[in-house]
Amino acid sequence: MQQKIVWTGLSLFFAVAMTCHQAQAGIIIGVGATFPKQVYQEWGKQFKAENGSSLAYFAQGSDKGVEAIASGKADFGASDKPLSAEELERNGLMQFPALIGGVVPVVNIRNIGDGQLQLDGTVLADIYLGKIRRWNDPAIAALNPGLALPNETINVLYRMDKSGSTYVLSDYFSKVNAEWKSAMGASTSVAWKVGEGADGGEGLARKLAATPNSIGYIDPALVQIKHLAYVKMRNHDGMFVRPHQGSFAAAAMSAKWKPANGFNQSLTDQPGAESWPLATATYILLARNPVEAGGAEETLRYFDWTFRNGNAIAQNLGFVLIPPDTMQSVRDAWKLQIKDRTGHPLWK
């Protein structure tokens, strides 16, 4: 694989890795979402042990993932916000889901542990709109009979970078809260009305752990690693559910994965008694006609390996793999869409 160009703002380690890329065969460069970071990196360790190729994954956020693959600066990009068919066509990309997980609201409130606090989408959106400012607000109390709620100001925390997790949260709010939909909308970056920002998922998790009476949203792996208290959410069917692999998978039960639109599928606020309302797939972006065919081929080998061998690692970190029939549809899409500069398929 040839050396790739680095853009301003990435870490020194990324710069060194890219500089050495030409000299070190078998290095796969990925850039993008922080949401699946732990899974991709753990997969990479096992893939290297079994196949010899290394993965260097740089969790810079979903928008950076799109930028990196569209400009040829990585072997794959990763985004929690799926691109539209028009965006994929314009940038010469194909897209497929790699994992299903969920954005998880978490709190740091004294004497309140995992799943003890219950919220619904309207109330959670009103907290982020600044309409609900104290933990013992009647709207929160009504959802939590018998729970001792402190008379303390809610410290609202959010991602200040352009984030796929923010997109999932705001997409959900836009479905369940009319004011949010009209005033804020769904985006990787919104004009927050209240609160304080942190850079990246790990930055937000650290800030949550250090800020009493706070609320934020992170990926399931960070919930486990940082030992933060998750919130139970009332779902589309009116049931309070906890974030776990079963509720993520339940939200994807009705998904219609279609290669024609880049497998683009929103999983927020899906029906089903067990469905997690903030579920999402996280996506991989590949160049349809990559400049570096060797890097693209190795990337396809890596993700094919994850489909066959990555389930235990994914589940240990709070995620689930996409369904087997969807995996086969993805492989078929690779054959049709990923080709070298002479038009030959890179996946056979």
230 lies in the same domain as 136: yes
Rounded Cα distance between 291 and 323, Å, is 31
CATH code where residue 70 lies: 3.40.190.10
Predicted local confidence at residue 2, as pLDDT: 42
Predicted local confidence at residue 348, as pLDDT: 87
**DSSP three-state, residue 73:** coil
Number of domains in the chain: 2
168 lies in the same domain as 32: no
Q: What percent of the chain has pLDDT over 70?
A: 93
In contact, 220 and 100? CB cutoff 8 Å:
no
126 lies in the same domain as 245: yes
**146 contact partners, CB below 8 Å, separation of at least 6:** none
Give domain status of residue 274, yes or no. no
241 lies in the same domain as 313: no
Give domain status of residue 65, yes or no. yes
Encode pLDDT of 164-218 as tens digits: 899 999 999 999 999 999 999 999 999 999 999 999 999 999 999 999 999 999 9
Instruction: Find residue 345's DSSP bridge partners.
Output: 339
Helix (H) or strand (E) holding 235, with range, is none
Rounded Cα distance between 258 and 209, Å, is 40
96 lies in the same domain as 116: no
Predicted local confidence at residue 14, as pLDDT: 47
* Boundary (domain end) residue, out of 251, 269, 303: 251
The encoded tokens of residue 97 equal: 């889901």
Q: Which residues of the chain have pLDDT under 50?
A: 1-24
For 180, the domain range is: 104-251
74 lies in the same domain as 183: no
Q: Which residue has the tokens 């069917």?
A: 237
Give domain status of residue 348, yes or no. no
